[in-house]
Amino acid sequence: MTEITNAAAAATKELIEAAGLQAGQLLVVGCSSSEIVGGKIGHDSSLEAAAAAFAGIYPVLKDRGIDLAAQCCEHLNRALIMERAAAERRGYEIVSVVPQPKAGGSFATTAWNRFSDPVAVEYIKADAGLDIGLTLIGMHLKHVAVPLRLSVDHIGEARITAARTRPKYIGGERAHYE
């Protein structure tokens, strides 16, 4: 479990740096604890693996003032677990559900249990994302997602992918961009 925590922390730090995340921004994490332990997504849920990943991710974000949205599994329509203050600050509509390991997933359940005032929301537009075990976080990123290749490419047995976002380029041939 220590290896999972260390890999999750390293991936999170590298993602923050590569994406240029700042305090007040939002990171979405989708995490298959089943994939972390070498099982099949949705079939081998592990609260221990989820807790180990959360222990690597959340303190890194919290220390930097970056908000976390933990994506639930498809049984809860990929709803997201967040701190109430972060959801309210963004004007997100709060919905009524409490994730469980087999309905929401172990990572979302862990987030619910570790956050000080957790809530569930249906839709977000995150500034960056970390996908642990091919959980499909793209629906929760801002419109223009840019894939990032991290040096950490696995957490446990789960492959990871990461993305940052950028503003849309608009205009025509005369437009200039930062």
Domain boundaries, the chain: 2-166
Q: Please choose, from the candidates 31, 82, 92, 37, the residue with its C-alpha nearest in 3D space to the C-alpha of residue 61.
A: 82
By the 8 A CB rule, do 56 and 12 touch?
yes
In three-state secondary structure terms, 29 is strand
**H/E stretch holding 145:** strand 144-148
| CATH class belonging to 2-166 | alpha beta
Provide the residue-wise pLDDT of the chain in tens; the chain has 178 residues.
Answer: 999 999 999 999 999 999 999 999 999 999 999 999 999 888 889 999 999 999 999 999 999 999 999 999 989 999 999 999 999 999 999 999 999 998 999 999 999 999 999 999 999 999 999 999 999 999 999 999 999 999 999 999 999 999 999 999 888 778 888 7
How far apart are alpha carbons 145 and 107 in whole angstroms? 23
